[in-house]
């Protein structure tokens, strides 16, 4: 198809599609004449993925470029590529830890131990949790984090188990990295929205009759 | 305390603190002499909240200004102010729904009905869920969303129940809006990190022995 048709199908404007090609997010179309490029379903699919990561996942163009490179990188072990792809999705936190961050890291290490999770307390996901716990502590909500942490870990395990059950049943090996990125970013948006909805429900039940 | 001490305590630079005052995020200090302002613990606490919303929550300065205004707005019903404050945290999605968005809204309405949640299918949290489901559908992961949606709703309810149990027990009425914003934004970051950690654990168990 021509770029105009690709634009119509995906709702992404022609200049934006050209920008993604220039930025290396989207492969160039196949030249069918010196100034006419042709696009196919793989472009359409990739373009939808880019938009989802941008609009719902809130990733930057540079972040998406790295994630797509990991998706397209063949021949590594699944666990390793999954780890790398998802690692790239984690926001970076300052290197210089304060007291709140040091205490939070200890809480994360204790949690990993307590739950028997097979992972490194120094990996990027653990750091992201420590950063969230440290931020809660700094704004005076350390006791909240402490009170809910294990219930949250139960909830997270429930979601992760549902994901893995689906992946094991339905996802071909070669699609696994892409599906992991999609599941991480969009599944997170889905879970976040559901949690907020559950809050609205709980708040309505608790406070609306006041 | 002087601005230098406030900066030292929070790790936020003096020019940045001045920027937040100019942008209306942070109240100005009390003038103790014509060119000397004095800050107290309320400034320190507010500054930490601003940093948490920026760094962990990923909110914009404009978004934070709105959220803080809702926090500081007295005399509305708790449920209403909670709703407004949290509504402001939701990313805005395009007004012109495509087929995927229309189908997603129907799925959200069915979910609300199925779970007996007291809420509006048109509210902003429902729209955020519909946007995530539509994005999954557009990138070819509609069947994934369908497969995990109810497990995710269980997980979300578990987290929300833990939050409400804590809030009901520990939070004074006047702190409720702030704690709701903090809990929404930072609790979300905490849950997202935990889910990714649970994925790492599950992936290690499943694929590392290959």
Tally of structural domains, chain A: 2
Mutate which: A97, A135, A168, vs B, most B CBs within 10 A: A135
What mean pLDDT do residues A129-146 have?
88
Beta bridge partners of A30: A38
Q: What is the pLDDT of residues A167-192, one digit of tens each?
A: 777 767 667 777 777 788 788 888 98
Tell me whether residues B119 and A192 touch, CB distance under 8 A.
no
Domain carrying residue A37: 3-55
Residue with tokens 């833990």: B162
B43 and B138 share one domain: no
Give tens-digit pLDDT for A18-73. Answer: 999 999 899 999 988 888 899 998 899 889 888 887 877 777 788 788 778 777 77
Interface confidence, given as ipTM, is 0.78
Task: Pick B132's closest partner by Cβ from A158, A162, A186.
Answer: A186
The answer on B100 and B20 residing in a single domain is no
Cβ of A160 and B48 within 8 Å?
A: no
CB of B17 closer than 8 Å to CB of B6: yes
- Residue A62 falls within a domain, yes or no? no
Q: Are B57 and A136 in contact (CB under 8 A)?
A: no
Contact status of A87 with chain B (Cβ, < 8 Å): no
B180 touches chain A (CB under 8 A): yes
B208 close to A (CB below 8 A): yes
Asked if B21 and B121 sit in the same domain, the reply is: no
Per-residue pLDDT band for A82 (boundaries 50, 70, 90) equals: low
Mutate to test the interface with A, among B193, B202, B206 (most CBs of A within 10 A): B193
Find which of A132, A134, A210 to mutate to test the B interface (most B CBs within 10 Å of its CB): A132
CA A125 to CA A130: how far, in whole Å?
A: 9
Q: Is A128 on the interface with B (CB under 8 A)?
A: yes
> Residue A61 falls within a domain, yes or no?
no
Nearest neighbour of B197 by CB, restricted to A82, A117, A166: A117
- B70 lies in a domain? no
Look at residue A82 and tell me if it is in a domain.
yes
Q: What is the mean pLDDT of chain A?
A: 83
Same domain, A110 and A149: yes
Whether B167 is in a domain gets the answer: yes
On whether both A93 and A25 belong to a single domain, the answer is no
* CB-CB neighbours of B6 under 10 Å: 22
In a domain? residue B91: yes
| Shared domain check, A28 and A92 | no
Judging contacts by C-beta atoms under 8 Å, the chain A residues touching residue B133 are 190
CB atoms within 10 A of CB A171: 17
Q: By CA distance, what is A55's nearest residue in B?
A: B93
- Distance between CA atoms of A47 and A23, rounded to whole angstroms? 13
Each residue of B35-67: pLDDT tens digit?
889 999 889 988 988 888 787 777 778 878 877
Among A3-12, A69-78, A195-204, B70-79, the range with the most confident prediction by mean pLDDT is A3-12
């Amino acid at each position: 198809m021509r770029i105009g048709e690709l634009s119509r199908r995906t709702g992404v404007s022609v200049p934006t599609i050209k920008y993604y090609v220039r930025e290396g997010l989207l492969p160039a179309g196949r030249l069918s004449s010196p100034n006419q490029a042709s696009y196919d379903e793989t472009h359409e699919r990739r373009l939808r993925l880019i938009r989802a990561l941008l609009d719902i996942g809130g990733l930057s163009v540079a972040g998406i470029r790295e994630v797509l490179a990991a998706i397209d990188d063949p021949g590594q072990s699944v666990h390793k590529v999954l780890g790398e792809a998802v690692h790239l999705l984690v926001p970076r936190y300052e290197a210089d830890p304060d007291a709140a961050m040091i205490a939070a890291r200890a809480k994360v290490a204790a949690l990993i131990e307590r739950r028997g999770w097979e992972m490194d307390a120094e990996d990027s996901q653990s750091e992201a949790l420590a950063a969230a716990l440290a931020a809660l502590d700094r704004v005076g909500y350390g006791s909240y984090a402490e009170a809910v942490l294990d219930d949250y870990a139960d909830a997270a395990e429930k979601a992760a188990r549902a994901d893995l059950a689906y992946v094991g049943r339905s996802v071909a090996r070669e699609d696994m990295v892409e599906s992991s990125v999609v599941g991480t970013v969009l599944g997170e948006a889905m879970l976040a929205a559901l949690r907020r909805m559950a809050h609205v429900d709980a708040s309505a039940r608790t406070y609306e009759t006041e």
